[in-house]
């Protein structure tokens, strides 16, 4: 469930990033067009285009600054996520249980087989729990 939500979040972040990138590219293109027109224009038109160009460049710089702030926030989020991941790894390393050795596994399998064999001798044909009970009953009646 969490991974589905994270995938959706990831997709949203990437989508907004691409959208922002597209806006910046369009702004830069418009600035280049305005600069070209300002160079070709003369007199009063050049003055108006110069003011417009200065305003557009200021707005573009404000958009870039906003993007930088967002990028810094994302960097902090990544750093926090990495720290959390390291904490989880450390906690899992502390909790990690060693798998039983081959000898212990064999000993446990032999013990279960012995109990089931004793139960089968007494006519019980079911699982290990019932076999344990039947084996105990048989021992109790013999004693």
Using left for φ > 0, alpha for ψ between -120 and 50, and beta otherwise, residue 43 falls in: left
Please report which confidence band the pLDDT of residue 125 belongs to, taking 50, 70 and 90 as the band edges: low
When pLDDT is cut at 50, 70 and 90, the band that residue 83 belongs to is very high
Predicted TM-score (pTM) above 0.75 = no
76: containing domain: 2-95
Q: Is the pLDDT of residue 141 over 70?
A: yes
Two tokens at 136?
Answer: 């105990």
Same structural domain, 13 and 50: yes
Q: What percent of the chain has pLDDT over 70?
A: 92
Could you tell me if 56 and 38 lie in one domain?
A: yes
Q: Do 10 and 73 fall into the same domain?
A: yes
Higher pLDDT, 60 or 96: 60
């Amino acid at each position: 469930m969490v991974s589905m939500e994270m995938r959706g979040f990831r997709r949203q972040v990437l989508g907004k990033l691409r959208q922002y990138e597209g806006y910046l590219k369009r702004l830069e293109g418009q600035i280049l067009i305005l600069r070209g027109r300002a160079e070709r224009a003369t007199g009063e038109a050049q003055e108006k285009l110069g003011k417009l160009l200065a305003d557009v460049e200021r707005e573009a710089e404000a958009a870039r600054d906003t993007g930088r702030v967002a990028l810094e926030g994302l960097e902090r989020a990544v750093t926090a996520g990495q720290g959390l991941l390291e904490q989880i790894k450390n906690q899992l390393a502390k909790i990690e249980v060693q798998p039983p050795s081959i000898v212990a596994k064999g000993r446990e399998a032999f013990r279960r087989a012995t109990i089931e064999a004793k139960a089968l001798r007494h006519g019980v044909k079911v699982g290990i729990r019932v076999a344990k009970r039947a084996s105990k009953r048989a021992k109790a009646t013999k004693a």
